[in-house]
Structures are given as structure tokens and as C-alpha cells.
Amino acid sequence: MIMAKAKTIDTFLGPLSRSNPITTQVLGICSALAVTVKMDTALVMTGALVFVLVGSNTIVAALRNLIPSRVRIIVMLTIIATLVIVIDELLKAFVYDISKQLSIFVGLIITNCIVLGRAEAFALKNSVTASALDGFGNALGYGLILVLVAAAREFLGSGTLLGLQIIPDFLYVENGGWYVNNGLMILAPGAFIILGLLIWLQRTINGYKEE
Amino acid sequence: MKGIRAFLDGIEPHFNSGGKWERYAPLYEMVDTIFYVPGTATAIAPHIRDAVDIKRSMFTVLIALLPALFFGIYNVGYQADPEAGFLQHMLSGGRAVVPMILVSYTVGGLWEVLFAVIRRHEINEGFLVTGLLFPMILPPDMPLWMVAAGISFGIVIGKEVTGGTGFNIFNPALVARAFVFFAYPAEMTGDPVWSLAGEMTAATPLAVAASVQNGDAGLLVSQAGYSFGEMFLGLVPGSVGGTSKLAVILGAVILVGSRIANWRIIAGGLIGLFGAALLANMLAPASGNTMLSLSPLSHLLAGGFAFGLVFMATDPVSAAQTDRGRWIYGVLIGVLCVMIRVLNQAFAEGIMLAILLGNAFAPMIDYFVLRRHIARRRMAYEKQ
């Protein structure tokens, strides 16, 4: 019983660090690069992924004995696509501005390798509770990296966090100071660099070795 | 000299394994080998008897850089106020350039020592060259904190992430420059940055050539007051060390003469530049792009092409390693430089991106050169 419990917690905590989908498995990079210029978009994207991943893992796990294995990919994609369309419409209805900034990247959650990867690798073989936890953990692990990258990029590139001015105005060149925002962080290569440094840091701490 | 040896021998036990400063052994090693040739011998063949190690060859590069450095300091002062005397030029130039070099060496050196201590390897003297090259390819009024940010990026991302000296894919000084170029474009592009004179804007010859649509680029450059003679001597606005072609030639003689830089890369680069520029000149009448009409000689004399080709494209780590590969690599850099200058008006100077692209292609060039060589030898063998 204790063993089972430890395993359940592990399904949830593992993806946050040791088997993080982005830094360890290097999945879902595309959106991690695209939506991390500002923190608010990264947070909303994390919320959307939590919804889709928990939903798809739960439904796939519930149906796992009914899905014929030959057509499982198309069935899973149908489930995922449905959830993505639902969240896309919800975002358009309630946070229209951010939804516009995220543009196609919410729709592209369908092709996010993490979602299909977890459904195929975990939900098809495990109980509903475990799958839901696994989906939640993986989505949060993805979100954690997303928010860290976005925080670094927004701080260095715009001097703000969540839209709040962090670096005081008088330091800027325009106001007689000396500081200039780092333009590279707004560009896509900035995300690559920050993400690379995070992967380096995390793998050093965990002692992870590429096989 | 005996005193230094005695002092070094006296403190050595502390740095050996078990000593109290064991962790800082790289620092001891660095100081010791600057003064003396190390006593270690290679255990396995091949044995080459030669006093030159990496440290000596890097010092040779530093010596080759000195003419360009001193002329650069003079020119920075000259551009700020052409009327002042020689001493005044050197003083005001030195006030701008020396702090940049100090910051570059100090900040870069800290990273270098940090990685050497953590990774327990020796401090690599390649840094001496990187730390001097970087300020020499910057505009003279670069804010010092940006120099620090740039060299940090160059050392950590350009070199240490891939394993340190000898393992870098790109030239670290150019990685550092590319970082500040894209991170702080206002300080790296445009006319005011290339001279200390402040409001009196000084467009570089290449910026002049790129400034107007429908015109003769060579004529524009000479109308702006930049003659071939001045551009050859280097009395024009530009990056600290890159303006003087005369100083670059002096450096090239030292580097090629001491076999540190490979002449094939330099020759290939010149061929690529002239070929691409001649081709552009032929296309010029059919297009409104002024840069197309810039003559090959202007391409060579204006801007930092010569400096980059001699001191950075020839970097033995990031360049191609086979002789035929070196020719291809050089030509590629020459052609790319002209293409970037001519076809993209946002980049008046193209040599930085050209060399970085050349670095990226170097391993592939070597791969195909070797494969072709192997295939030819096999055919010759099978014919027998």
C-alpha cells in the first residue's frame, strides 16, 4: 500500500524535475520557444495545456479497454483535438487579448508531442486516477519550464514581470541612465539560449546523462 | 628569473593533490607556464621536439594583433578630433579603448577561472586572444557593461558549453560580438556609434555606400572623403582594430610566417570576395541597389573584412582542417561577406555573420573533402 502510494506521488512529481518533458525528454519545444516572450502568455498556455493533458489522459485511460489498438492514434487525436478546440473557444471568449497573442499556438497543442506522447505511453496502460495525475504532473512540468523561460525573457528583454516594471525607469538610457533592454531575448534565439541554459542547469543538478 | 622559479617551487606543494589550495591548481599552472616551458613530456608517440606549445602560439597571435591595436587606439583618437596632435590622439583613444580591454580580460578571465576550477582543467590561453579580439571588433564608444555582457556570453555560450578551448564550434569573440549586435542594436549599428565625436556623426565607408539607392557606390565613398589611401591606412571610422589594412597585413605576415594562420584560408577569402564583388558589379546596371556597384577593391579596403579574415576566419579550432577544405571555407566566407553586405541593407558589414556561417559549415566541408579523398584512393587502389 505504501509502495503504491509512493508510486502515485512519483507519477505526479517525476515530470516536474527528473523526467521533465521539456528539459529531460526535450518534447514540446516548439511552443516553449514561441509563447515565452511575456509571462502572461506563458501562464495562459500552461493553463490550456493542463486542461488538455489532464482531459485527454483521463478520457483515454477511461476508454483504454475499448480502443482497438490499430486505430488508437486517430482515436486519441480526435479526443485531443476536441479538447483543444474547447479550450481555444474558451480563451477567445474570456481572455481575448491573450488568445490573440497566442494565435495559432493554442490550436497547435494538438501536435504537441507531450499530449500524444503521454496518451500513448501512459494513459493507454494505466488507471484513470494515475493517468490524470500523470497528465497534471507533465503539464505542470512543461508549465514550470515555460514560466521560467518567460520570466527570464520578459525580465531581460522588457525589464518587466507580468507587465509590472521591475527595472526602475531612471536606469534607462532614455531617462539619463545607462541600461538598455536586451533585444536578443525578444527574438526566438533568446528562448533557445535560456532553454539551453535551463536544461544544462537541471541536468547538472540531477546528474542526468544522455545515453 | 631564479627568484620567480624559487617562489613558484616553494608554493607548489600547496596546489598539488592533498595541498590546502588543491582546488586552485589551474591558477598555479597558468602562472607557472606563462614564465616557464612545462616539464611534462608526451608519453606516447608521435614525439615532436618544439618549444612552441599552445601558450606560445597564442602569444604570437597577440603580437600579431599589436599593430592593429596601436593603430586602432590612434585612430579612435583621430576620429574624435582630427586636429589634435599625435599624443592627444593616443591619449583620448587610449581612454576609450584600454577600459574596454581591461573589462573584457577581467570579466572573461573570471568565467575562465570559474570553469577551470569547477571542471578541474587547466586555464586555456586561447582566452588571451579572445579577450583582446573582442574589444577590437567593437565600436569605440561601446558601454563597458555591454562589453562585460558580451564577453560573458562569448566565453560561456561560445566556448564553455561545448567543452572549452579546442571544442568550440564558433569563434568565441565573434559569438560575443553577435550577441551584443543582436541584443543592443542601437549601440552596434547606425552612424553615431563608430566615432567618439558624439553628435558629429561619422558614417563608415560601407554605411555610406549602402545609404543611397541608384548611384555609384565607389563615387559615394570617395565623395564622403574616404580615399583608397585613407581606407588602406585605416584613418576612417570603424571598429577599434579593424580599420587599418596596413596593420592587418603586418599581422598576417606574422601569423602566416609562423604557420599559425593558414594562408589558404586567407587566399580563398580574397578570391571569394573578388569573385562575388565582380559578379555583383556585372549585375549592378540591372538593379537599383547601389551596393552592387561597389568595386572589389572597395569591398576589401572598406570595413572589417581584412581583419576578420586574417585574425578570426583563420582560428585553427573553428576553421576547416583539411587543405582543400580550407580553400572552400575561405571562398565561402568571401562570397558570403559580399552577399550579406550587398543584398541586405540592414547589415552594412557582413564579415561577422559570414565567418560564423563559415564556422558552421567547416565540419561539413571537411567531411566531404575527406570522403572524396577516401573514394579516390580506393578507386586508385582497385585499379591496380
- Classify strands A164-165 and A160-161 as parallel, antiparallel or unpaired: antiparallel
Distance CA B343, CA B130 (A): 30
Q: How many CB atoms lie within 10 A of CB A166?
A: 11
* Residue B237 forms part of a structural domain: yes
- pLDDT of the residue at B36: 66
Q: Residue B267 burial by CB count (10 A; 0-12/13-18/19+): exposed, middle or buried?
A: middle
Residues B177, B215 within the same domain: no
Q: Do A189 and B182 touch (CB under 8 A)?
A: yes
CA-nearest of B106, B167, B164, B95 to B131 is B106
Provide mean pLDDT across the span B338-362. Answer: 88
In this predicted structure, the answer to whether residue B212 has a pLDDT above a threshold of 70 is no
Answer yes or no: do B219 and B282 share one domain: yes
Residue B96 to residue B77: CA distance in whole angstroms:
9
Nearest CA in chain B to A177: B143
Provide the percentage of residues in chain B whose pLDDT is more than 90: 41
- A184 shares contact with chain B (CB less than 8 Å): yes
Closest partner residue to B183 (CB to CB) among A178, A182, A196 is A182
Residues B228 and B172 in one domain: no
Asked if B144 reaches chain A (Cβ–Cβ under 8 Å), the answer is no
Whether B380 is covered by a domain: the verdict is no
Please compute the mean of the pLDDT values over residues B307-336 and round it to a whole number: 94
Interface test with A, best of B152, B182, B188 (most A CBs within 10 A): B182
B356 chain-A contacts, CB cut-off 8 A:
none
The pLDDT confidence band at residue A136, using thresholds 50, 70 and 90, is very high
Please give the Cα distance from B253 to B250 (Å, whole number). 5
Instruction: Count Cβ–Cβ pairs < 8 Å, chain A vs chain B.
Output: 24
Q: Do B139 and B234 fall into the same domain? A: no
Q: Kindly give the interhelix angle for A2-13 and A128-158, rounded to the nearest 10 degrees.
A: 30
Q: Among B155, B188, B221, give the residue marking a domain's end.
A: B188
Rounded-to-integer distance, Cα B303 and Cα B338, Å: 11
Shared domain for B64 and B119, answered yes or no, is: yes
Identify whether residues B238 and B361 lie together within a single domain: yes
pLDDT band at A80 (very low <50, low <70, confident <90, very high): very high
Does pLDDT of B201 surpass 80?
no
- The span from the CA of A17 to the CA of A33, in Å, is 19
Say how many residues make up chain B: 384
Would you state the pLDDT for residue B68?
93
- Separation between Cα atoms, residue B182 and residue A106, nearest integer Å: 29
Instruction: Give the CA-trace dihedral at B4, B6, B9, B14, to 10 degrees.
Output: -90
Which residues constitute the domain of residue B303? 207-370
B36: in domain: no
* Of B4-18, B163-177, B183-197, highest mean pLDDT: B163-177
Answer yes or no: do A183 and B185 touch at CB < 8 A.
Answer: yes
Q: What does the pLDDT read at residue B131?
A: 92
How confident is the model over B79-101, as a mean pLDDT?
A: 88
Provide the grid cell at B81.
578630433
Spatial separation of the C-alpha atoms in residues B281 and B273, rounded to whole Å: 12
pLDDT at residue number B155: 93
Identify the three-state secondary structure at position B166.
coil
One domain, residues B138 and B223: no
Residue B40 lies in a domain: no
Task: Give the model confidence (pLDDT) of A89-105 as tens digits.
Answer: 999 999 898 888 887 88
Q: Looking at residue B202, what is its pLDDT?
A: 57
Compute the Cα dihedral for B127, B253, B332, B273 and give only its sign: positive
Q: Do B183 and A196 touch (CB under 8 A)?
A: no
CA-only gyration radius of chain A, Å: 19
Say yes or no: B161 contacts chain A, CB-CB below 8 A: yes
Query: Cis (ω within 30 of 0) for the bond into A189?
Result: no
pLDDT band of B70, cuts 50, 70, 90? very high
B154/A194 Cα distance (integer angstroms): 15
- Output the average pLDDT for chain A: 86
**Residue B124 pLDDT greater than 80, yes or no:** no
Q: What is the pLDDT of residues B294-316, one digit of tens each?
A: 888 888 888 889 999 999 999 88
Distance between CA atoms of residues A181 and B183, nearest Å: 8
Name which of B354, B134, B375 is nearest B240 in CA terms: B134
Domain boundary pick from B188, B219, B236 = B188
Q: What does the pLDDT look like over A170-207, one tens digit per residue?
A: 888 777 778 888 888 888 888 889 998 988 888 888 87
Most confident among B53-57, B122-126, B317-321 (mean pLDDT): B317-321
B218 and B152 fall within a common domain: no
Residue B16 lies in a domain: no
Best to test chain A binding among B184, B187, B189, B356 (most A CBs inside 10 Å): B184
What pLDDT shows up at residue B335? 95
pLDDT grade for B233, boundaries at 50, 70 and 90: confident
pLDDT at A62: 93
Q: What is the mean pLDDT of chain B?
A: 84
- Report residue B46's pLDDT band, with 50, 70 and 90 as the boundaries: low
> Does an H or E element contain B372, and which?
helix B351-383
Q: What is the model's pLDDT at position B192? A: 59
- Using the Cβ of B189 and the Cβ atoms of chain A, whether some distance falls under 8 Å is answered with no
Distance CA B1, CA B62 (A): 23
Question: Given this model, what pLDDT does residue B27 score?
Answer: 75
C-alpha A101: how far from chain center: 16
Q: Which residues face A179 on adjacent strands? A: A172
The more confidently predicted of residues A33 and A78 is A78
B176 plus B90 within the same structural domain: yes
Residues B238 and B363 in one domain: yes
Report the residue of chain A nearest B185, measured CA to CA.
A183
DSSP of B269-289, one letter per residue?
A: HHHHHHHHHHHHHHHGGGSS-
Q: Among A149-163, B141-155, B276-290, B299-313, which stretch is predicted with the lowest mean pLDDT? A: B276-290
- With CB atoms and an 8 Å threshold, state whether B161 touches A189: no
pLDDT tens readout for residues B98-117: 999 999 999 999 998 888 88
Hey, which residues does A172 pair with through a beta bridge? A179
Question: Is residue B13 in some structural domain?
Answer: no
Is residue B354 included in any domain, yes or no? yes
User: What letter represents residue B60's amino acid?
Assistant: T
> According to DSSP H, which parts of chain A are helical?
2-13, 29-34, 39-62, 72-94, 96-102, 104-107, 113-118, 128-158, 188-206
Q: Is B361 helix (H, G, I), strand (E, B) or coil?
A: helix
Distant-in-sequence, close-in-space partners of A71: CB < 8 Å, separation ≥ 6? none
pLDDT-derived band at B64, boundaries 50, 70, 90: very high
Identity at B337, one-letter amino acid code: C
Give chain B's domain count.
2
Domain C-terminal end among B154, B188, B222? B188
In a domain? residue B177:
yes
Note whether B160 and B288 are same-domain residues. Answer: no
Taking CA–CA distances from B143, the nearest residue in chain A reads A178
Is B309 in the same domain as B254?
A: yes
For the ranges B65-79, B116-130, B197-211, the lowest mean pLDDT is seen at: B197-211
pLDDT (0 to 100) of residue B199: 43
